[in-house]
Amino acid sequence: MRTLFGYAVLAVIGVLALKLVFGLLSFAIGFAMTVVIWAALGFGFYLVLKVISPNSARRVRELIGGTQTPVA
């Protein structure tokens, strides 16, 4: 009876651990997909801006990435 109770406790702990691991994995995948979607929307906005107003697109690119200065 003691062994059976031990296995039952171990099974409950295992189920809880699996729920925790898969919950964290689900959160990580959902967060990654959200970041990818927002990046795609930003890229699409930048492409439209580049077609409509190349000067504004250049300023946005410089604002985000900074300007490269030559090393002396």
Provide the pLDDT for residue 72.
Answer: 52
pTM, 2 dp = 0.63
Q: Where are the domains of the chain?
A: 2-65
Cβ neighbour number for residue 60 with a 10 Å cutoff: 16
Fill in the DSSP letter of residue 53: -
Dist. CA 72–CA 65, nearest whole Å: 21
The residue among 9 and 70 whose pLDDT is bigger is 9
CA distance linking residue 2 with residue 7, whole number of Å: 9
CA distances in angstroms from 37 to 20, 24, 31, 43, 50, listed in the order given: 26, 20, 10, 10, 20
**pLDDT for residue 68:** 61
pLDDT in tens, 2-52: 888 899 999 999 999 999 999 999 999 999 999 999 999 999 999 999 999
